[in-house]
Amino acid sequence: MSITVTPITGALGAEIGGVNVAEDLDDGTVAAIRQALLDHGVIFFRDQTLDVESHKAFTRRFGELFVHPNFQFGQENPEMVYVRREPGDAKVVGGDWHADTTMMATPPMAAILYAMEVPAVGGDTLFANQYLAYEALSDGMKRLLAPLRAVHNDSRVAGPQAGLNAQRASQIREDDAWRKTESIHPVVRSHPETGRKHLFVNRVYVHNFEGMTVAESQPLLDYLYAHAVRPEFTCRFRWRPGSIAFWDNRCVLHLAVHDNHDDARHMRRTQIA
């Protein structure tokens, strides 16, 4: 199968054509899709028809399915996360810049998000290239960041103290038995496949630098959060039913834009271990 790869901005993102991802793809096509992901950070497919099983099967061509610890309620298909926004929701899943699930010791390498129902206008997703964010830093800042490690945990987005379930349709574990998951990761990482250095911090999961207080860490973290999502590092994707976004969670941040409060937006997501 011959696919087309059409970049959508100078920073990152490409639309993939000539492929039906619900089919039994040959190894060459899978390799070409993976290379496009590595080259562009996030790739998009249009006019796809995926049921739950074909969504999982497509995901498995790139790695093992990751089971998210905070979206587990004993449901069928624990590998699947349903991202739902209903009219009137005050908050949405992913409403601030982040990489997914970075509180894990080994965060997911990628995610595949499929649109089932989207508003006619609004509800776009933004993506930011963290290779470019790192490369644009001064040499002095790179030296400063090189030895630093950051503490990531999920206390802002799960558990009784988060208080998110009352504000949105997508539910998270907020039971008393929930316990936070915390891990420490380098602020600057080298991508395991491309070898390129990139920033690896985000305001949803990072709380402080290892060995420093939250107050001491915050000024530099605030600078990095703002720098990481400068417009020239980003792209914006407008959803249609049947669209797919497939992003490299290791080197790309993303944000769900909450700009349509009157319409439903129903998505289905897998993550790759």
Sign of the CA dihedral with 192 first, then 140, 205, and 260 last:
negative
Q: How confident is the model at residue 171 (pLDDT cuts 50, 70, 90)?
A: confident
- Give the position of tokens 């249609």: 240
The CA distance from 200 to 106, in Å, is 13
- Give percent above pLDDT 70 in the chain: 99
Q: Does the annotation count 258 as an active-site position?
A: no
Evaluate if residue 1 carries a pLDDT over 70: no
Work out the average pLDDT over 175-189: 94
- Give percent above pLDDT 90 in the chain: 83
pLDDT in the model for residue 166 = 86
Evaluate if residue 174 carries a pLDDT over 90: no
Work out the average pLDDT over 203-228: 98
Name the active-site residue from 34, 40, 85, 98. Answer: 98
What is the token pair recorded at 53?
Answer: 């099983």
The CA distance from 19 to 244, in Å, is 12
Write 214-220 long-range contacts (CB < 8 A, 24+): none
Q: Does the annotation count 100 as an active-site position?
A: yes
Name the active-site residue from 68, 156, 254, 268. Answer: 254
**Cβ proximity of 153 and 178 under 8 Å:** no
Name the active-site residue from 68, 85, 100, 185. Answer: 100
Evaluate if residue 15 carries a pLDDT over 90: yes
**Cβ proximity of 159 and 264 under 8 Å:** no
Q: Does the annotation count 254 as an active-site position?
A: yes
Q: 63-92: buried (b, 16+ CB within 10 Å) or exposed (e) per residue?
A: eebbebebbeeeeeeebbbbbbbeeebebb
Evaluate if residue 75 carries a pLDDT over 80: no
What is the number of other CB atoms lying within 10 angstroms of the CB of residue 161? 10
Q: Does the annotation count 207 as an active-site position?
A: no
pLDDT in the model for residue 16 = 98
Average model confidence (pLDDT) across the chain? 95
Work out the average pLDDT over 11-27: 97
The CA distance from 143 to 71, in Å, is 38
Give every CB contact of residue 131 below 8 A, 6+ residues apart in sequence. Answer: 41, 191, 196, 197, 198, 251
pLDDT digits (tens, 9 = 90+) for 119-164: 999 999 999 999 999 999 999 999 999 999 999 999 999 888 888 8
Work out the average pLDDT over 175-193: 95
pLDDT in the model for residue 2 = 85
Beta strand 265-272 pairing with 149-153: unpaired
Q: Which CATH superfamily is domain 4-272 in?
A: Clavaminate synthase-like (3.60.130.10)
Q: How confident is the model at residue 172 (pLDDT cuts 50, 70, 90)?
A: confident
pLDDT in the model for residue 168 = 86
